[in-house]
Structures are given as C-alpha cells and as structure tokens.
Amino acid sequence: MTIYYLNNVYLLFFPAHTSHVLQPLDLGCFSSLKTTYRRLLGEHTALTDTTKVDKANFLEFYAKAREVGLREENVRSGWKATGLYPKSVAKPLMSRWVTEPRRLATPPPIISNISTPKRGSDIIRLFAKKNSSPASRISIRKTATALDKVAMQITMRDREIEHLRAQLAQAKPPKRRKVVQDPNERFTSLAQILAQANQEPQQRVRKAKEVDSESEESEEEVAPARRSVRERRPTKRYLERDSSAVEESD
C-alpha cells in the first residue's frame, strides 16, 4: 500500500455485495463476451453433433469472444452504466437490482367464499374481473367448455351405472329367509319351511303327507338285520340264579 501511495496510485474498493451494480466488467464487457462465446459454442454443437468441448476449441472460442467483448465501446459503456465515469450517483441507486418493488397501499381483498366450480358459467363468473386480455378470455372460455363436457360425460355415466345396477338387482335371485325352528321339535319339518315361504296351506299339507308316505315306504324297504345262527348257551351265573329261584318257589 505504501508503494502505491508513493507512486500516486490510490486503491478504491467496492462495498460488499455490490459488484453486480458497480463492477464495469459485469455490466459492459462480460455480457457481450458470454453472448459471443455461447453463439460459437452453439455453432460448434450443431456442426459436430456433440456437446463436448476440448481445450483447443475452448481456447479458440474464448479468444474470438474476448476480441468482441473487450472492445473499447464495451469498456466505456460499462463505466457509464455503473455511474463511476461519467460520475452519476443516480444510476446505481436506480438499478433494478437495488430498488425495492413498489408495494400496493392496500392489499388486495381476500376472497374466502370461493366455491368449487361445477359448471362452465361458474368459472366465467369466478374470473370475470381478471380476463383483461383477449388471450385470457379465450383460455377461460375454453376451460368452461371443457368443464361442461366433462360434467355431461359424468352425468351420462352415472345414469348408465344406475340403469345397470337396476338390471343386476332384477337378475339376482331373491334371498331366502332363515327358517325359525320350533323349540318344541327336534327337527324342522317341511311344512314349517313351506309355511314360512308364504305358500298355500293345502300344498304344504299335501307335500308333507307325500314326504311322510315316502319315509314309511323307505323304512319298509329296509332289510331286517341279520342275526347270528350260533346256538347260545346259558352262563353259569344265569343257571345258579334259576336254581335259586326254583328252590324259593318250592
């Protein structure tokens, strides 16, 4: 620093985080240099059909971009844009990176009673105050038409589903009710089952008699059990009991 001061060289430092506003290279030279380098890189990619750039191509593209970016008019425009020379305090203060966006005096009203749109007219009514441009009005109308089509399709499908459900209910056989058994009987008779099925009494009695006759015939047809042919002899205990009984009688 002493050597600089003795040789009439004064060092000036930018404030922290202000190089994007006060740096002449950022505002003048680097932008044109980047634009030229990207254009050369795009041409190289289109010709070679690859995005890889070796060192030789990088140096070639950067040298050409440097000749364009570091020209005298770009250097002058960078100093002028920062307001350092010619001196202008208003330019850095009015930069879009420094000024704060203007806030509205009153915040927009919060709409809390927004209901879910069910028809296209609901969407048009909802965005009635925001369709300032022709493009937005066309988009809102197309959205409303699409919503109406979807709502119509859903309605038709719901009706078709209800019709199919009604046909399915008719095609299904009715469910049988559970037969309540008489607690005084061991088994439920056929007459009780038919009585609870809401049939005529004569049919119930007739069917019950037929069932009883069939059961009797089946019992008669059953062959008697086969008995053993072997001669059985009385045991000693039975002989003693018979002899004692005879003596008592005498």
Distances (CA, A) of 217 to 67, 211, 213, 226, 237: 122, 10, 6, 20, 44
Q: Which has more pLDDT, 233 or 202?
A: 233
The rounded distance, in Å, linking the Cα atoms of 146 and 117 is 12
Q: Which has more pLDDT, 106 or 82?
A: 82
Least confident of 34-43, 111-120, 131-140, 203-212: 203-212
What number is the average pLDDT over the span 195-208? 52
DSSP-assigned letters across all residues of 140-182: HHHHHHHHHHHHHHHHHHHHHHHHHHHHHHHHSPPPPPPPPPP
Rg of the chain, C-alpha, whole Å: 54
Question: Is the pLDDT assigned to residue 205 strictly greater than 50?
Answer: no
Print burial letters for 40-60: b (CB count within 10 Å at least 16), e (below 16).
Answer: bbeebeeeeeeeeeeeeeeee
CA end-to-end span of the chain: 161
The rounded distance, in Å, linking the Cα atoms of 39 and 62 is 11
DSSP element (H, E) containing 45:
helix 30-48
Helix (H, G, I), strand (E, B) or coil at 47: helix
- 143-162 per-position pLDDT tens digit: 889 989 998 999 999 999 99
The rounded distance, in Å, linking the Cα atoms of 192 and 208 is 10
Helix (H, G, I), strand (E, B) or coil at 121: helix
Helix (H, G, I), strand (E, B) or coil at 199: coil
Q: pTM for this structure?
A: 0.38
- 61-98 per-position pLDDT tens digit: 999 999 999 999 999 999 999 999 999 988 888 888 88
Q: What percent of the chain has pLDDT over 70?
A: 71
Q: Which has more pLDDT, 45 or 229?
A: 45
The rounded distance, in Å, linking the Cα atoms of 161 and 167 is 10
| pLDDT score at 42 | 92
